[in-house]
Amino acid sequence: MILNIFDDYDKQNLMNITFRQLEVFEVVARLLSYTKASKELHLSQPAVSMQIKQLEENTGLPLFEQVGRKTYLTEAGREMYHYCKTIAQQLEEAGEVLEQLKGLKSGRLEITVATTANAFATRMLSMFNKRYEGSTVSLDVTNRERLLRQLADNEKDIAIMGRPPEDADLVTEPFADNPLVVVAAPDHPLVDEQPIPLHMLQDQTFVVREKGSGTRTAMQRFFEEHNLSITSSMEMNENEAIKQAVQAGMGLGIVSIHTIELELETNRLVILDVEDFPIMRHWYLVHRKEKRLSPITQAFKDFVLSEGRNLISHM
């Protein structure tokens, strides 16, 4: 019984085996004829013989034997043929997968988006998925801190967020405007004021995002630049909670205009006409600089950069 017929082979020689040698061997082993193999491979018979001779030199054992006019596999040849068929099958499968990826018939996209981008990101992904029906999308909606950690740990292919960090290891590309507006409940006293002087906001209470969020940072920077201070009644780590608190009359809020489409349509929130607003920011696509984007990820990036602005403006 042979435990491993190649145990005594020179491993260095085995490393010299080429795919071409295996391809030629597979055909000869299957047809058991050098003449028929040369016709199928469109090679001369001496060329086929040379490939087999080089393979036998690399393995250190004869793979074929001639008995009369017939060609037979040796014991080593049968073992080699078994592995050769397995390798050929795996290479064929790999080729099919790679061709599918080139044609974007399949592929998995791992994307993370800031909570404030979720309102439009899901619809953008739906449109992208219809265009590339064979793709699979994994979407994670999270806060800024966790999003940046996912990028740092290379957990996700690409991210959609507001203000990205100034990090040399990241590629950041803006694709659409992201206006921040002041919102209030429909019965708020300032709703009837048009326009509202900026200084009047100092007398108002705000419901704000948690420290470190992009919206909170942009809001603080804006008021500092205008030498104003505001009062916050509550701090929340989700945009949805901010909207609900404002609707309940707990204060004013500053949110991305792209997050309040439904509330505006149903008159649950109103955008206040405040001097120097909106605060103009941008939405960004972000990924690690050294990240090798898969074909489906590159397709999504191209899709967003070319069509993202128009898609968001019509949402």
pLDDT at 217: 87
Fold type of domain 107-176+282-313: D-Maltodextrin-Binding Protein; domain 2 (3.40.190)
SS3 302: helix
Q: Measured between alpha carbons, how far is 68 from 6 in angstroms, rounded to an integer?
A: 28
| Residue 98: Cβ-neighbour burial (10 angstroms; 0-12, 13-18, 19+) | exposed
Residues carrying CATH 1.10.10.10, the chain: 11-102
Q: How confident is the model at residue 123 (pLDDT cuts 50, 70, 90)?
A: confident
- Reference 100, options 136, 126, 74, 124; nearest CA is 136
Q: What are phi and psi of 133, to 5 degrees?
A: -65, -25
Q: CATH class for domain 177-280?
A: alpha beta
Q: Where does CATH 3.40.190.10 sit in the chain?
A: 107-176+282-313
> Does CATH place domain 11-102 in 1.10.10.10?
yes
DSSP 81-116: HHHHHHHHHHHHHHHHHHHHHHTTSSEEEEEEEEGG
pLDDT digits (tens, 9 = 90+) for 174-200: 999 999 999 999 999 999 888 899 999
Is the pLDDT score of 261 beyond 60? yes
pLDDT in tens, 143-183: 888 998 998 888 899 999 988 888 778 999 999 999 999 99
d(C-alpha 33, C-alpha 36), whole Å:
5
Residue 260: is its pLDDT beyond 60?
Answer: yes
How does DSSP classify residue 294? -
Report residue 203 as tokens.
């007398």
Predicted confidence at residue 39, as pLDDT, reads 94
Please give the angle made by the CA atoms of 120, 124 and 126, to the nearest 5 degrees. Answer: 120
The whole-angstrom separation of Cα 126 and Cα 110 is: 14
For residue 258, the model assigns a pLDDT of 87
Q: Mind listing the pLDDT tens digit for each residue in 47-106?
A: 999 999 999 998 889 999 999 889 999 999 999 998 888 887 777 767 756 766 666 666
In this prediction the pTM is 0.62
